[in-house]
Structures are given as structure tokens and as C-alpha cells.
Amino acid sequence: MTWFHSNKIFLDKESVAQQLRVTRLKRGYKLEDVAWATNVSLRYLKAMEAGDYAILPAGIYSLNYLREYANFLDLDYEKLLTKFKSEQLIYQSSNQQHLFARQTVNRRYFVATPNVIKYSSIALIAVASLIYLLFLIQNIFVAPELTVMSPVQGFISGRPKLVVSGQTEPETEVLINDRQAIVSDTGDFSEEINLKPGVNTIIIVAQKGAKRKNSITREVLYKEAVKQEIVTSTIPVFATSTVATSTN
């Protein structure tokens, strides 16, 4: 009696995914038929035919699914398994290289981040230094504000004393005809000065720190009041007597 042994099919030059798909189509099976006959999820069957090892479960589960599918299609499972493991190893190696590339990019990002912080800090310091330099220049070349409230230009005074008042910036030194005036915390100042008869020139100077001086000049006319003297004239009074003449 002659015994016939069926030789399992294995296509060495084709991938596992190609062998599974080509054999199934030749035999006229649908994936739904294979899923029902092997009790393997349709999702995993599609993954094996697509060579998508990322979807297949890890470990022995994917090998069991491959065995069931190979036996159903009458393929040589042992040779298919060897090729399946080889392809799976190539996929894992490629995936690790991709992961390493991503890690390298991330590492470059983290290396670049301190440089960004460093250059940003330098830029901020440069901007702050420029602002401070502009502040110093302003202090040197910009004079403090000064306003004289009293007296107005051309004021005529009839008294020998005059109050000079005005406003400037806080912490500013004010001189009125080289005499220092008291300045309040809000910048107000007021000082009484003596006037000479005639035209008086009043120079108000304000200076704050290293800033330029700001000065205002006022001319005031002082007229002395004319004293009116009361002159009493003595007029002699002559008595006139009336002589009555009587006629007898």
C-alpha cells in the first residue's frame, strides 16, 4: 500500500505576508472565512497579510495566530515561522533605529534649549543696559521741569518784599538769585526776597543731580510809595474894630 504525504507549501522568496495573502486568494477564501475557521481575530489576520508587526500582539500569541493561519492554508509552518521571526527582528531593529533617531532629535532640542536661554539672557541684558544708558543720558541732557507761579514778568510791586513761588520736580535744588529755596516733597517751593527800588532781576534756577540746569528770569519793578506831607500855613489874623460914631 502506498502512503501519500502532502508536502507543505513554502515560497522562500516571498515574505510571510505575501505567502499568506497569495495562497488565500488562490484558494478562494475570504478573510472572514479564515477568521471563522481559525478563531483568529480579523484584525490580526489583516495585520499578518499586511506585514504590520506593530498591530500583532507580542510574544507567543502572534506565533499561535500564524500557526493557525498557516495550517488552515496548508503552508509549511516551521519554515514560515523562521521567516516570520526574521522579518519581525528586522522590524524591531528598524523601529529601534527610528526611536533612537527621535531621541537624538529630542536630545538636540534639549541641547539647543540652553543655548536659546543663554542668547535670550544676553539679549535681555543688552536691552536693559541700553535702557539704563538712555536713562543716564536723559539725566545729563534733559533739564528738570520748572514753573514759576509768582511773580509774573513785568510785575510792579509797591512793597520792598516779594514772594517767589513755583513748582519743579521732587528732589530738585532751587536757587533764587543764588539763594537756596526750600522745596517740598511734591516739588513746590516758595521764598521771600527783598526788592530794591527800580527794576529787579530775579533768576530762578532748578537743578537735579547731574541734569542740566533749568532757569527762568523775571523782571520786577519796585516803586516806593511817595509820602504825602501835610503842610499847615499860619495866616495872621487881624482884628477889625468897628468904631461907632454918635452924633449929638
Q: What does the alpha-carbon distance between residue 111 and residue 116 come to, in Å, rounded to a whole number?
A: 9
Q: What is the pLDDT of residue 247?
A: 45
Q: What is the pLDDT of residue 3?
A: 46
**Which phi and psi (to 5°) does residue 173 adopt?**
-90, 130
Q: What does the alpha-carbon distance between residue 58 and residue 56 come to, in Å, rounded to a whole number?
A: 6
Instruction: Walk me through the domains of the chain, giving residue ranges and CATH numbers.
Output: 7-141 (1.10.260.40), 146-222 (2.60.40.10)
DSSP for 113-151, please give it. HHHHHHHHHHHHHHHHHHHHHHHHHHHHHSPPPEEEEES
Residue of higher predicted confidence among 33 and 102: 33
DSSP for 22-73, please give it. HHHHHTT--HHHHHHHH---HHHHHHHHHT-TTTSPSTHHHHHHHHHHHHHH
Band (pLDDT 50/70/90 cuts) for residue 27 is very high
Residues 6+ apart with CB under 8 A from 244: none
Band (pLDDT 50/70/90 cuts) for residue 13 is low
Residue 20's closest CA among 83, 70, 91?
A: 70
pLDDT at 70 over 80: yes
- The mean-pLDDT minimum among 45-54, 146-155, 193-202, 229-238 falls in 229-238
What does pLDDT average to over the chain? Answer: 80
Q: Give the residue-averaged pLDDT of 12-31.
A: 88
Whole-structure pTM value: 0.40
Band (pLDDT 50/70/90 cuts) for residue 212 is confident
Measured torsion, CA atoms of residues 69, 75, 79, 84, in degrees rounded to the nearest 10? -30
Joined together, the cell numbers standing for residue 76 give: 509549511
pLDDT single digits (tens) 112-169: 567 778 778 898 898 888 887 776 666 667 888 999 999 999 999 999 999 999 999 9
Q: What does the alpha-carbon distance between residue 66 and residue 82 come to, in Å, rounded to a whole number?
A: 11
Q: What is the pLDDT of residue 240?
A: 47
Q: Give the residue-averaged pLDDT of 41-52.
A: 90
pLDDT single digits (tens) 73-84: 999 889 888 888
- Whole-number percent of the chain with pLDDT over 90: 42
Q: What does the alpha-carbon distance between residue 80 and residue 27 come to, in Å, rounded to a whole number?
A: 18
Q: What is the pLDDT of residue 12?
A: 58
pLDDT single digits (tens) 83-98: 888 888 887 777 665 5
Q: Give the residue-averaged pLDDT of 41-67.
A: 88
